[in-house]
Amino acid sequence: MTVLVPITYKGGVYRHDIVIDLIDDLGGYIVQKHMIAQEVVLQSLVPKDDIELIRTISRPLAGIVIEAPLVGTEIAVVSPSLEIHHLPHTSCDVAEYLRSAGAKTNMIGLARGFGKRIANLNIEERDIINEHDCAVFMLGNFESCIEYKMPALRRGITVPIILTGRPSTEALQRIIDPPVDGYVGGIGRIGHRMKRQEGEIDRLDALVDEVSTVLSRKREEVAKDPLSVNPARLMTVLDDAMEITERSTHPTPITVQIRALRVKLPYDTYADAIAAIEIENGVRIGDITRILPSRMRDYILIHIRPFSETKIIV
Amino acid sequence: MKGLEYFEVECVEQAGAETYSQIADNILSDLNLNQSIGRLHIYIDPEIPLFLAVGVIKQMPGLVHIRDFASALGTETGVVLDIGTETYLSPMLSILWDRYGRDLITQPDRFTVNILVPGLNPREIEDMVVVDPSEGMFHDIIYALQWIAPEGFKVRRQSIGEGIFSYVASENTLDQEEIEALLKEKFARIGVNA
């Protein structure tokens, strides 16, 4: 089985269909396509050995290929509230930076995540965070405060947590018990956009590194018991059958996660139709996945079942 | 912070203190308050938790009279006001409406207001007070402190006196006497005997 690696292709609109066809022919998948004015950005998964070929072919088109470690993941950026204290600065900077590394980020502003003693997480927020590949918790500037409120905010969260706060990474590691999956210090509440290289942008780079480390661990975990179908492939099959991207106005009508897909269609109307779609040789989507209603609006969440459960790989 | 003769954030956690002094600097300059505040001392105790700020106002903006933005001319039918800048037009019209009634105030164009009351002294009209900017500034200072203080600190005590202000916020109930003593101590740090 070829190893697919996440890349971002950036280039002009002119003849970009050549690149799309090439990725398709090589057996890669385009997870997301942005057309911004004269520029095209393709978030894709392509075979590792063929990156150089894509580079060579896109060179005359002035396209560039960059490795984007977070393509094909959906990340929750959890902010204690949506008030002026927490937005837009740090939370938006973080969400935007993770997106530039290829991730699909959703910002979740907690209803009552602020304060120290009064901070908490409600069931809906917990469930929505658990629908992501990982959650980046954006906490504040004081060690004692983070130490006190973190147990309340992480209660019931089953996805990997990456904790950020103003205290140093070592201090965060020291105060959190039991440990979470990742820590990035130096990103706390501030009153301006992050633009200095030292202490701001380099912290965001550290965050991208930490998130990709945590997610690679998760990918390795998944690889031990491989999924019955690659999520990116399932996305292509689903999109070909139902033309969702063409008919939807969402920026990412089908969001690819490490072992699931979020489909932005109403569950009640479309769940059965999706289950009946044939992937290959009589294997239907419903046979190898669990199609569940998402807690996010009325969307559909498709959990891909592992090989050990289905004994099928397509 | 630029513009302030004294500014300090006092906190047991060094990193938190540094960040909060940056936040205060950003927010006060965003709201154009760093020219109006002379001294500011912020005390944060994340254990209680408590946020306390005391400060001295450097300069109080003066009252705004009609003569500051318009000139009045007496005519047979009343007074004609020639408006220079429109900034205070709305509060001025409200005051004139209240005093003379809407029927007697006309506004033929953007820069002219007629008061149709014969025999008015134009100088008296020019001397009318329209706005007291210090009221707005107190409001702005308290808003700035609410913004600077950590979110969720809903138990608040704020006061504004002769050129001084204080703001105390927490999520737990505050003991009156303790807070009084603490405020006195912090005011002493900025040279005020409150």
Report pLDDT digits (tens) over A114-150: 999 999 999 999 999 999 999 999 999 999 999 999 9
Say if residues A197 and A226 touch (Cβ distance below 8 Å): no
What sign for the dihedral angle of Cα A162, A78, B44, A196? Answer: positive
Are B151 and A168 a contacting pair at CB < 8 A? no
Distance from the A209 Cα atom to the nearest Cα atom in chain B, whole angstroms:
23
Alpha-carbon distance of A187 to A204, in angstroms, equals 8
Best mutation site among B1, B9, B11, B19 for testing chain A: the one with the most A CBs within 10 Å?
A: B19
Are A167 and B15 a contacting pair at CB < 8 A? yes
What pLDDT score does A217 carry? 93
Closest residue of chain B to A186, computed from CA coordinates: B15
Given CB atoms, is A203 within the 8 Å cutoff of chain B? no
Please give the average per-residue pLDDT across A85-110, as a whole number.
92
- Residue A113: CB atoms within 10 A of its CB come to 27
pLDDT band of residue B194 (cuts 50, 70, 90) is low
With a cut of 70, say whether residue A74 has pLDDT above it.
yes
> Which residue of A114, A118, A190 is in closest CB contact with B22?
A190
Residue type at B48 in one-letter notation:
I
What pLDDT score does A1 carry? 59
Are B16 and A81 a contacting pair at CB < 8 A? no
Say if residues A124 and A295 touch (Cβ distance below 8 Å): yes
Q: Using CB atoms within 10 A of its CB, is residue A120 exposed (0-12), middle (13-18) or buried (19+)?
A: middle
Say if residues A283 and A314 touch (Cβ distance below 8 Å): yes
Alpha-carbon distance of B61 to B36, in angstroms, equals 9
More confident residue, A87 or A264: A264
Question: Across the strands, what pairs with B112?
Answer: B82, B109
Alpha-carbon distance of A286 to A283, in angstroms, equals 8
Given CB atoms, is A109 within the 8 Å cutoff of chain B? no
The mean pLDDT value of chain A amounts to 93
Distance from the B40 Cα atom to the nearest Cα atom in chain A, whole angstroms:
18
Alpha-carbon distance of A27 to A50, in angstroms, equals 10
What pLDDT score does A34 carry? 87
Distances (CA, A) of B127 to B65, B79, B121, B122: 6, 13, 10, 9
The pLDDT tens digits for B134-176 are 777 888 899 999 999 999 898 999 998 888 999 999 999 989 9
Residues of chain B in contact with residue A174, where contact means CB-CB under 8 angstroms, are none
Are A118 and B171 a contacting pair at CB < 8 A? yes
Distance from the A26 Cα atom to the nearest Cα atom in chain B, whole angstroms:
50
> Which residue of A115, A119, A143 is in closest CB contact with B153?
A115
What pLDDT score does A81 carry? 92
Largest CA distance in chain B: 71
Are B19 and A188 a contacting pair at CB < 8 A? yes
Q: Can you spell out the DSSP letters for chain A? A: -PPEEEEEEEEESTTHHHHHHHHHHTT-EEEEEEEETTEEEEEEEEEGGGHHHHHHHHGGGT-EEEE-TTTT-EEEEEES-SSTTTTTHHHHHHHHHHHHTT-EEEEEE-SS--SSTT----HHHHHHHHTSSEEEEE--S-HHHHHHHHHHHHTT--S-EEEEESS-HHHHHHH-SS--SEEEES----SS----IIIIIHHHHHHHHHHHHHHHHHHHHHHHS-BSS-HHHHHHHHHHHH-HHHH--SSSSEEE-SSEEEE-S-HHHHHHHHHT-EEETTEEHHHHEEEEE-SSTT-EEEEEPBHHHH----
More confident residue, A291 or B4: A291
Closest residue of chain B to A86, computed from CA coordinates: B151
Say if residues A242 and A302 touch (Cβ distance below 8 Å): no
Taking alpha carbons only, the member of B115, B114, B111 closest to residue B86 is B111
Are B16 and A166 a contacting pair at CB < 8 A? yes
- ipTM strictly over 0.90? no
Angle (CA) B187-B188-B194 rounded to 5° is: 55
Taking alpha carbons only, the member of A182, A208, A236 closest to residue A71 is A208
Residue type at B113 in one-letter notation:
V
> Which residue of A115, A167, A188 is in closest CB contact with B152?
A115
Given CB atoms, is A140 within the 8 Å cutoff of chain B? yes
Mapped to the 3 state alphabet, what secondary structure does chain B carry?
CCCCCEEEEEECCHHHHHHHHHHHHHHHHHCCCCCCEEEEEEEEECCCCEEEEEEEECCCCCCEEHHHCEEEEECCCCEEEEECCCCCHHHHHHHHHHHHCHHHEEEEECCEEEECCCCCCHHHHHCCEEECHHHHHHHHHHHHHHHHCCCCCCEEEEEECCCEEEEEEECCCCCHHHHHHHHHHHHHHCCCCC
Are A190 and B23 a contacting pair at CB < 8 A? yes
What pLDDT score does B112 carry? 94
What pLDDT score does B163 carry? 85
Please give the average per-residue pLDDT across B109-130, as a whole number.
92
Residues of chain A in contact with residue B13, where contact means CB-CB under 8 angstroms, are 141-144, 167
- Residue A96: CB atoms within 10 A of its CB come to 15
Question: Across the strands, what pairs with A302?
Answer: A261, A291
What pLDDT score does B60 carry? 74
Given CB atoms, is A174 within the 8 Å cutoff of chain B? no
Closest residue of chain B to A80, computed from CA coordinates: B151
The pLDDT tens digits for B5-62 are 899 999 999 999 999 999 999 999 988 888 889 999 999 999 989 999 999 988 777 7
pLDDT band of residue A201 (cuts 50, 70, 90) is very high
With a cut of 80, say whether residue A220 has pLDDT above it.
yes
Tell me which residues of chain B have a C-beta less than 8 Å from any C-beta of chain A. 11, 13, 15-16, 19-20, 22-27, 30, 44, 46-47, 49, 147, 150-153, 171-172
Please give the average per-residue pLDDT across A70-78, as a whole number.
95
Closest residue of chain B to A168, computed from CA coordinates: B15
Given CB atoms, is A141 within the 8 Å cutoff of chain B? yes
